[in-house]
Structure formats: structure tokens, C-alpha cells
Structure 1
Amino acid sequence: MKKLLLLFAIGANAINLMGQTPCENGMAGNYPCNGYDLLSQLSLNVLAGSNQESGNDSWGWTDPDSGKEYAIVGLTNGTAFIDISDPINPIFLGRVETETFSSVWRDIKVYGNYAFIVADAAGNHGMQVFDLTRLRNVANPPVVFDADARYGGIGSCHNIVINPSEPYAYLVGCDDFSGGAVFVDISDPLNPQGAGGYADSGYTHDAQVVTYDGPDADYTGREIYIGSNGSFGSNNKVVFVDVTNKNNPVLISDIDYDSPGYTHQAWLTEDSNYLLLGDELDEQSFGINTRTIIFDVQDLDNPQVHNEYYGPTEAIDHNGYVLEDKFYLANYTAGLRVVDVSNVASSNNAMEEIGYFDTYPQSNVADFDGAWSVYPYFESGNVVISDISRGFFLVRPSDGTMGVNDMNMGTFSIYPNPATSFAKLVAGKNAQIESVKVYSILGQEIFTQTRINQKEFTLPVTNFSKGVYIVKINEGATKKLVVR
């Protein structure tokens, strides 16, 4: 299980990097861009060992001990792990090979210090589990890692979803529960256990699961499953399910929309007032530009279509994620598109594109190539793009900002998160922590300390109940903290 094998004849010195390339006059080297520089790139030949393989999903992990950042990139033949703590000179550490055979569809999510991996149309693949702390000390990379564990309660699954505040994985589009959600208890990550499932609403292509802290007080603190239930027929819809009790999941509501092609993936805005949905086939089916459907979900029992956003190209939208007031969209042949959603509540001009990095420069047609997924959640502000035919890209806002809050204005990091006994708060560059306040999800202040004036602060959480909290420093920057 712990054995490391050299990856073919590829040594670390054989990795060809693009190097840092600024976005100037609309181009970063060969790539069209607006507001995003290219930091580095690794090809499929490096990551997969062959140009005959292709890329798919991506995610990320930040080591809670060191703060080092790692990119995780899905491939048809496995899952690659990349040390990006030096973003100009990333190190391809190695990969976990597929459990069965190559698959176009591989998906990865992270809970704590473990990566969980599924694949679709891959036979009896199951869910692989990989201990990410093994990336801390890899001798002579790149290597081939064995998975640390495997859940065999399912075979193939299209996707995997994890709520970071609860120890459950939700496997969707599997060969069980009618393609709905398969619940897996990952509280002991190396010994995952089946915990039931939900089949009543049919096949789910992708989903988001959250511990709800939005405006609908009826569901505060409940675990809510938001399923994007794609169909090649007339049954495309988004479903809202209360999955707090795994033995008795309850449908809250569902909603459809005009001119569906294939309901693909949706993500909540940070205040949980709106849901941004991508339909994967509407651009091809109806000859329209990239469309995002905006739902008003302030009443989970009665969600409503609020608006639609159309991008500047006809490219197909794929995976999209929200971070504060920005929507980071993997837009296939149009690459990464960054959209301002701060005005999403408006009835006019609800969203506006503010930047992009196009990993597929030859066209922006409605085709299935280019950027499959993006990961924008690193504290550094660097964004991972996984491209179907060009592998791994790492980009960053051209003006050097975080793209969220300027580090000099009080942005901070929290680790470990989730926490059990303490959480260390670390201020950003040229900043200090002057004060700390902690609030429950109901807005109750449960901790405060002032006159700290230090770079780091250790927050004791042993007396906190398990759950989600909001940590505020310097009366400004806030972050969610999970205590378990």
C-alpha cells in the first residue's frame, strides 16, 4: 500500500514548464487572456505519461501543518498530485492510477487530509481514498502511489460531492439508487462505510451539499443536498433535499426552467440567496451563447427562476464555483471565465464577466474540449485549470491581487480547518491580527479578543460545539470555521 514506484522513465528534470507569462495586450504567450497571468503549465504527457490520455476534473488541498498548496488533477488513467507552493516551478509528485481502466469521467473531492476519487463507465472502480499527507515527503518524484483504501459498495459513479463540515461523501450518477445519491460515512477515511442513499428524484449528474446557513430559517443548520438532475428527455430539474437524517432524506422542492438541454451543475452564492446553474447542452441545442440560469432560493420550499446570464462566446459551460463575489467558470473551449456576481440580485445585468484565461486558443465553439474544471479556493489566490487536451494550468490575477480580499487589508488563513482542539489564524502579507471575534451560524457572538497585534493567533475551540462558525478579524475579513 505504501510502495512508491518510479513513473516510467520520466524524471523531475523532464517536466517542461511554461514559466510565468504575464497577460499583455490580450495574450499570455499563446493564450488569450484578460486580467489573468499564466504562472505555469504541465502537459498531459508529463501528468499521464502519454499524450493519448486526457484531463478532466480538478480540486486542491492546503496542508494544514505547512500551509503548502497542492493541485489535484483528474486524468483518464488516474489522478495527479502537484506541489504548487512555488507556483512558477510546480513539482509533479506523481499519481494514483485508475482502479480499473481509463475513463473520460473522473472526479475528486477532499475531506480533511484525504482525497476521494470516483470514475464513471469504469467497471467496478469504487471510491479510492488517498492520504494527502503522503505528499509532504516524496523522494525522487514523480512516482506512482497506491491508493490507501477503496470503498467497494458501488462500481462506477459520475461524480462525488463532499460537504466540508460533515463526514459524508455523496456519490452521484452511480450504478445504485437509480443514479441518485449514495451516502458514504467517511468519518474514518480509511474505512468508509455505506450509509444509505436517495433515489426518489432519479439520476443526479452533479450536486452541492451544504450545512445550511442561508435566509430560510426553516432549514438553518440542516444538511441540504442540491442535485443537478440532468436528463436527455424532459425531466431536467434541480432538486433540494434535506439529508440531515441519512435514514430519512426528505425532498424539499424541485424546479425546472425554460429550454433545458441537460441540467449539469449548480453552485450557491456565498449568502445562499441565489443558485447559479449551468446547462451543458443548451448552447449546442439552441445556438445560444454560454447561459447561466440564476435561481432565487431564499425560500427553499419555493425556489424561483430569477434571471439568465449570457456570456460573450458560444462555448459550453461546464463546472462553476463561487468564491465571495466571483463566479469561476470552466467554459470548455473559452477556458476560465471569471464573472462578477455582486449584483446578482438585480433584475438587469445580474452578472458581468471581468476576466478570463483561454486554455483553448483555436476557437470558442460549442464543443467538448478545453477547460473541464477550475479550483479557485487557495489562500494564495492562484487558480487551477484542468484542460482536457492540455493538462494543468495555474493562473493568477494580473494585478497581483488575491481576487478576493487584498492580503494587506486583513485577509487571513485558518488551519487546521475543520478543527477539533484549536485553530491557528495567520494574517496575510504585511498584516497583523488586531482582534478576533467568532459567531455562531445564528449570528451569536461566542468569542472575542482584542489588542492581539500579532501575525498569528491560536483560537481554542475545545469548548465550541460541533458545527460551523464565522471568524472575523480586525472588524473586517471573515472566514468559515468548521469544528468537529
Structure 2
Amino acid sequence: MIKKYILAFLSLLFCSSISFSQTPCVNGMAGQFPCNNIDILANIPVATMANSMLNPNGTGPEGSDIWGWTDPTTNKEYALVCTTNSTAFVDISDPINPVYLGKLDTNAGANVWRDVKVYQNHAFIVADNVGAHGMQVFDLTKLRNVSNPPVNFSADAIYNTDNLGNCHNIVINEDKGVAYLVGCEQPNGTRIFNGGPIFVDISDPKNPTKINHYAAEGYSHDAQVVTYDGPDTDYTGKEIYIGSNETKISILDVTDKNDIKKIADITYDQLGYTHQGWFTEDKKFFLLGDELDEKDIGTNTRTLIFDFTDLDNPKLSSTYLGASNAIDHNGYVKGNEFYLASYRAGLRIFDIQNIAASTNSMTEIAFLDTYPDNDGAAFNGVWSVYPYFASGNIVINDIERGLFIVRKSGSLSTENNVIDKNAFSIFPNPSESNPTITASNNKLIQSVDVFNILGKRIYSKQNINSNRFVVPIQENAKGLYILKINNQISKKLILK
């Protein structure tokens, strides 16, 4: 019954730019979406953020890559949302009420893929499967003073050296101020440098300058570049490039852009398409996704974990298979967790504290399935995820449904993981008035704290020592709150 009222309440929050907001994960569902331990804070449809006049082949706009920027002056958080024909900028510093600030249109017509990364308060944007696009540079500090959103922004610079047209992806090593453009073509579709990385100095962001390129290892679909601080002391301080190169992983020392040194290549069984991977933070392991093994070979969602403790001799450490055969796409590591965009299976979050083990190296701890129809091996649903905001908020870009701003339910220690959770009840819930907490089994209510969805305490009462307590919060804004009882048990409450 509570779930029914929650959904009814949430439907009242609909507006033209925000599809829905504050949809908690209740009994395995966040509204229409299967979930575990993830609440939806807000959603903005892709059609709101894209340019409806620039649709490829007459189809509707779609979402693709996503990244984030935190303004170092204001600490506001922004989502940079790639679509078929534009890059949208969304202020998510209030994630329940995100503000779509505007978009930067494509530089060369509509396309399927667009990728963005950030360096020194600038966004660097490339696009694939389109003509003379080049690399767009956009000064993100423009987002500080948008008085009448949404705005149609213009690029601050366009990089098109070597008659650069398309690039599939862009990688930035922020330590060095170098961008790596990969999978690039001229406007006529001719590959540039076999699709290998092009090294661009972006230390002066509005004046990008080519350093060199590298063609010997062929096409790079995606890559990660780090200033190495891992266990292989032979490479300490070196700039290491890990390329996902369609048929192999290529490890390169790219410290000297005029003298690239190959370290190792890696292949593996049941190879479909070596797509994308990410280091663990200690650089001991590399988590790889193969994009076509599920579709073409028939495996369940597969993550390959490689031991990179010796970069000259990398080896497969373990393989994780998911519960369905949904295709995996982009995955990123933050601390001891792995955030995987898994197309029709949505966002999956894994605990990787046991990553060194030969079995059970990853454990799924949370998910939000934004494609509820099925988890089949097809290209719908979540394209990518950005988990690196200091707030703990996570942004997802869904191909059909656009931007999701979400947060792990467990970040506020909700009731799923506490002892004696049924000792206290809240009524009414959802509530239009001050709700009453009632204790059972001779329990006493000693203290009550109320938090909003951002984790801010809005009410606190100590030394209650009663089996009933009315919480005086009805004058607060409508939405989702967490009531913490006796500093131990947490309950979700909806004010409507």
C-alpha cells in the first residue's frame, strides 16, 4: 500500500523538463524500474536536452557518453550529457531539482556517438560517425552565470589539425595536460594514423596543439592514460597508455611522445570486441569489458579482471559473469567499487575488495535497471555512468530515457541493513501532516534525527524516552526524507 501511495505522489511531481524525481527504491522497484539499494533523485528526458531539429535518419535523439565537472570556485556539480546531436549541461548541485542550463550543438550534423572529458574547467568533445566535427573546446565557467536557461552555447575553440573529422573517443591525462584522441577519421571517413592515438597538448585549453601521433598498434576504441604509481617500479612516474584496441589490449609507455615504447599486448579467449577498461586505484588490476561477447558468443555479462602487477607480463586473474546476457559498455572504478553501464541491465555497482581472488572477485551490491522490458543482449538502456562527484551523487546517461541522477540508498544507512528494523513504525507514510513514530516490543524512542536526501540534518530531538513521538516536520518541502531513530535504525518517509 505504501508503494502505491509513493508512486501516486511521485506522479504529481511531473513537469515538462523533469520527467520524475525522488523515486526511492521500495521493495525492489524505483517506480517502474527494478532496483536494489539505489534511489532516483531526478530524471531529465533526452529530448529535453538534445536538438530535436538534428535527428539522424529521422529518428529521435539518443543519449551517449556522460562526464562531470565540479566548479572549484563554487563547488557546484554539473553533469555533461552527450546526445545524438549536442552536449547538454545540467546543474545538479540540487539533485532533486536539476537545472538544464543549455547545450552545445554538434559541429557537423547528427551522429550516433559523442564523448566528453574535462580538463582545467574546460570540456573537450569529440563525435564519431559524422563529418568535419573536430574536437570542440568549451569553457565550463560560462555555466556559473546563466540567467535565463536553457542557452544555446558556442564552442570556444575547434581543433581540426590533420583534417580531423570524427573521433570515437577522447582520453585526458589530467596530470600532464595531454588529450589522446582515438579512433579518428578524416571527414570523408578515411582513418587517420590507423585510428591510433593522436597526442594533443591542452595545457592552454583554448589553444590545443598537436604533439604527435602513434599508428603502430592500430585502432584504439577507448583507452585510459595514467601517470603510473602502481606496483611495477620499472614504470613509476611514467605515462602509461592502456588501449582497448578491438582485438587486444595494448599497454604503451607514452612518456616521450616522440618515442613510444610498447610494453605488452593482451588477448583472451572468446574475444568479441575489446571495448573499454579501467585500472583499480592501486593499479594492480585492470577491469575489461568486451562489448560483443554477450551478443555474438552468448556469454552472460562478462568482466575480465587482469593482473597488472607486472606490466610486462599481464595475465588474466579472474572472470566475473553477471546474471543476464546484457551487454556491458563503460565501467569505472571508484575506491573499492566498480560502476558498470550495462545497457539493458542498467547501472550495476560491484564491491571489488576481493578483486585479487580467483573466484568471487566481484560482488554486486546495487543496481538500477532503466530498461525494464528485459536484460537482453541489445544496444538499449544505459550507455555510461559518472560516479566521481564528492557528494556521492551518480549520473547515468540512458540511450532512450536521458539523464538519471541517482544515489545509493545505503549512503544514509537505510533500513535494509539495520538490526531490529521492525521495532519502530511510522504512520502515516506517505504523510501530509506530522507523522508519528511508534515503538513496539517494549522499545523506547530515545532520539530522532531527520535528514533530507542530500544527507543534511533538518531536525534533531534527543532524550525522548517514550514509545510514541510525533515528528514536527510537516512544514518542510515535499519529498523523500530519512528518519534515524536511536542513532541506529533508519526509515524512509515521504512528505506529500
TM-score grouping bracket, smaller chain normalisation: 0.7 to 0.9
Identify the residue that residue 388 of structure 1 maps to in structure 2. 399
Identify the residue that residue 140 of structure 2 maps to in structure 1. 132
Q: 1:347 deviation in Å?
A: 1.2
Identify the residue that residue 204 of structure 2 maps to in structure 1. 188
1:220 aligns with 2:230: no
Once the two structures are superposed, what CA deviation does each residue of 1:344-387 show, in whole Å capped at 9, x if it has no partner? Answer: 10112111111101111111000001000000000011111000
TM-score by length of 1: 0.79
Once the two structures are superposed, what CA deviation does each residue of 1:217-241 show, in whole Å capped at 9, x if it has no partner? Answer: 00001000000001xxxxx110110
Tell me the distance in 2 between the aligned counterparts of 1:279 and 1:190. 35
Which of 98, 110, 113 is equivalent to 1:90? 98
- 1:449-468 matches, within 5 Å, as none
Identify the residue that residue 229 of structure 1 maps to in structure 2. 245
1:328 aligns with 2:339: yes
Tell me the distance in 1 between the aligned counterparts of 2:142 and 2:346. 31
- DSSP-derived class of the 1:218 partner: helix
Relative to 1, partners in 2 of residues 1:47 and 1:120: Cα closer, same or farther, differing over 3 Å? same
- 1:118-129 matches, within 5 Å, as 118-129=126-137
Tell me the distance in 2 between the aligned counterparts of 1:23 and 1:354. 14
Tell me the distance in 1 between the aligned counterparts of 2:223 and 2:238. 16
Tell me the distance in 1 between the aligned counterparts of 2:115 and 2:22. 28
Number of residue pairs matched by the alignment: 390
Is the Cα–Cα contact under 8 Å of residues 333 and 366 in structure 1 kept in the other structure? yes
Once the two structures are superposed, what CA deviation does each residue of 1:20-52 show, in whole Å capped at 9, x if it has no partner? Answer: 111000001111110000000000121114381
Q: Which amino acid aligns with 2:326?
A: A
Tell me the distance in 1 between the aligned counterparts of 2:47 and 2:151. 15
Identify the residue that residue 106 of structure 1 maps to in structure 2. 114
Percent identity between the aligned chains? 60
Identify the residue that residue 249 of structure 1 maps to in structure 2. 260
Tell me the distance in 1 between the aligned counterparts of 2:412 and 2:393. 10
Identify the residue that residue 28 of structure 1 maps to in structure 2. 30
Tell me the distance in 2 between the aligned counterparts of 1:372 and 1:337. 12
Tell me the distance in 2 between the aligned counterparts of 1:196 and 1:72. 28
Identify the residue that residue 147 of structure 1 maps to in structure 2. 155
Tell me the distance in 2 between the aligned counterparts of 1:80 and 1:401. 30
Tell me the distance in 2 between the aligned counterparts of 1:185 and 1:262. 30
Is the Cα–Cα contact under 8 Å of residues 137 and 158 in structure 2 kept in the other structure? yes
Q: 1:313 deviation in Å?
A: 1.3
- 1:368-387 matches, within 5 Å, as 368-387=379-398
Relative to 1, partners in 2 of residues 1:138 and 1:238: Cα closer, same or farther, differing over 3 Å? same
Identify the residue that residue 267 of structure 1 maps to in structure 2. 278
Tell me the distance in 2 between the aligned counterparts of 1:251 and 1:89. 48
1:197 aligns with 2:205: no
Relative to 1, partners in 2 of residues 1:402 and 1:266: Cα closer, same or farther, differing over 3 Å? farther
Tell me the distance in 2 between the aligned counterparts of 1:16 and 1:105. 24
Identify the residue that residue 480 of structure 2 maps to in structure 1. none
- Unaligned segments of structure 2, at least 5 residues: 1-14, 53-58, 186-191, 415-454, 458-496
Q: Which amino acid aligns with 2:89?
A: F
CA-atom RMSD in angstroms = 1.6
Q: 1:312 deviation in Å?
A: 1.2
Is the Cα–Cα contact under 8 Å of residues 381 and 402 in structure 1 kept in the other structure? no
1:349 aligns with 2:360: yes
- DSSP-derived class of the 1:66 partner: coil
Tell me the distance in 2 between the aligned counterparts of 1:181 and 1:363. 37
User: Which has the larger helix fraction?
Assistant: 2
Tell me the distance in 2 between the aligned counterparts of 1:293 and 1:304. 10
Q: 1:122 deviation in Å?
A: 1.2
Tell me the distance in 2 between the aligned counterparts of 1:351 and 1:387. 24
Q: Which amino acid aligns with 2:145?
A: N
Once the two structures are superposed, what CA deviation does each residue of 1:443-470 show, in whole Å capped at 9, x if it has no partner? Answer: xxxxxxxxxxxxxxxxxxxxxxxxxxxx
Identify the residue that residue 285 of structure 1 maps to in structure 2. 296
1:276 aligns with 2:287: yes
Is the Cα–Cα contact under 8 Å of residues 104 and 120 in structure 1 kept in the other structure? yes
- DSSP-derived class of the 2:371 partner: coil
Which of 67, 73, 89 is equivalent to 1:65? 73
Tell me the distance in 1 between the aligned counterparts of 2:173 and 2:321. 29
Identify the residue that residue 308 of structure 1 maps to in structure 2. 319
Q: Which amino acid aligns with 1:59?
A: W
Identify the residue that residue 53 of structure 1 maps to in structure 2. 61
Deviates more, 1:285-294 or 1:48-57: 48-57
1:297 aligns with 2:308: yes
Tell me the distance in 1 between the aligned counterparts of 2:360 and 2:292. 23
Is the Cα–Cα contact under 8 Å of residues 267 and 322 in structure 1 kept in the other structure? yes
- DSSP-derived class of the 1:157 partner: strand
Identify the residue that residue 44 of structure 1 maps to in structure 2. 46
Is the Cα–Cα contact under 8 Å of residues 40 and 406 in structure 2 kept in the other structure? yes
- DSSP-derived class of the 2:203 partner: coil
Tell me the distance in 2 between the aligned counterparts of 1:47 and 1:179. 30
Tell me the distance in 1 between the aligned counterparts of 2:88 and 2:293. 31
- DSSP-derived class of the 2:23 partner: coil
- Unaligned segments of structure 1, at least 5 residues: 1-12, 231-235, 404-427, 431-484
TM-score by length of 2: 0.77
Is the Cα–Cα contact under 8 Å of residues 17 and 89 in structure 1 kept in the other structure? no
Once the two structures are superposed, what CA deviation does each residue of 1:99-141 show, in whole Å capped at 9, x if it has no partner? Answer: 0011111000001200000001111110000000000000210
Tell me the distance in 2 between the aligned counterparts of 1:196 and 1:400. 45
